[in-house]
Amino acid sequence: MSIETLEHLTEPLSFLKEIKRVTKPNGTIIISTPLNETENRFTPSNPYHVREYSKKELIELFDYYFLEYEFFFQKNTLKRNWLTRTNDLIFKLIPLVRVKLKAIVPDKIIRNLRAALKAERDITIKSEIGKNEENASVIIAVIKNKK
pLDDT of residue 46: 85
The residue that leads in pLDDT, 91 or 19, is 19
pLDDT of residue 135: 87
pLDDT of residue 79: 64
pLDDT of residue 77: 74
Q: What structural domains and CATH numbers belong to the chain?
A: 2-77+126-145 (3.40.50.150), 81-116 (no CATH)
For the chain, the average pLDDT equals 82
The span from the CA of 61 to the CA of 78, in Å, is: 31
Report the candidate in 78, 70, 75, 77 with the shortest Cα–Cα distance to residue 129: 75
pLDDT of residue 71: 97
pLDDT tens per residue across span 40-92: 999 988 889 999 999 999 999 999 999 999 999 999 876 666 666 666 665 56
Model pTM above 0.85: no
pLDDT of residue 126: 74
The arithmetic mean of pLDDT across residues 91-119, rounded, is 61
Instruction: Judge whether residue 19 has pLDDT over 70.
Output: yes
Q: What is the amino acid identity at position 75? A: K
Buried b (16+ CB within 10 A) or exposed e, 37-52: eeeebeebeeeebebb
